[in-house]
Amino acid sequence: MTTFQEKIYKYGNGAYLPMKIVNPKILTDKVTSVISHVVVTTASKLAFISGQVSVDESGALIGSGDYYAQAIQVFTNLKYALEAVQADPLCIAKMNIFVVNHSPDLISIIFEAGFHVFGPNWPKTASTYIGVQALADPEWLIEIDAIVIFP
């Protein structure tokens, strides 16, 4: 049996943004405190945010060698991208999180940074956490892209 939880967010223009969260009982609930297994929407418009990395507006690296510092900057850049299209973090339907030289202890560090940036607006969205050997720049440790829905 499937459990449905519907989240309907009030969007900036007063419209409501419908998304249904589907977490089938047959799939573990161990991860559903930070992600959802499935997100269903009838969005009329989508935004695709390119992978955000730990650089500031001048292109300078933030947090050399520091996963937490880089994660803060990456989530901050994601937040700026959302603001540029007037989207709330809760409008994120899907995130891909790429982490160089992943190890299990990095999961809590990266999600803690996300909670620090987004606070109560942390998007419990469909997400994929991917350990990778390297990113486009050897100093980048984390990259996050996202798909955003609009009402």
pLDDT digits (tens, 9 = 90+) for 7-23: 545 545 555 566 777 78
Considering the chain, what is the average pLDDT of its residues?
Answer: 86
Q: Residue 145 forms beta bridges with which residues?
A: 96
pLDDT digits (tens, 9 = 90+) for 66-89: 999 999 999 999 999 999 999 889
Helix crossing, 67-84 with 105-118: angle to 10°? 40
Q: Given the DSSP bridges, would you call strands 38-41 and 45-52 parallel, antiparallel or unpaired? A: unpaired
Residue 28, H or E segment: none
| Residue 6 pLDDT level (bands cut at 50, 70, 90) | very low
pLDDT digits (tens, 9 = 90+) for 39-70: 787 767 889 999 999 999 999 999 999 999 99
Here the tokens at position 108 are 């809590």
Q: Give the pLDDT confidence score for residue 77 in this predicted structure.
A: 96
Collapse the DSSP code of 13 into the 3-class scheme (helix H, G, I; strand E, B; otherwise coil) and give the result: coil
Q: Please state the three-class secondary structure of 48-83 as a single string.
A: EEEEECCECCCCCECCCCCHHHHHHHHHHHHHHHHH
Q: Whole-prediction pTM value?
A: 0.81
> How far is Cα 65 from Cα 74, in angstroms, rounded to an integer?
14
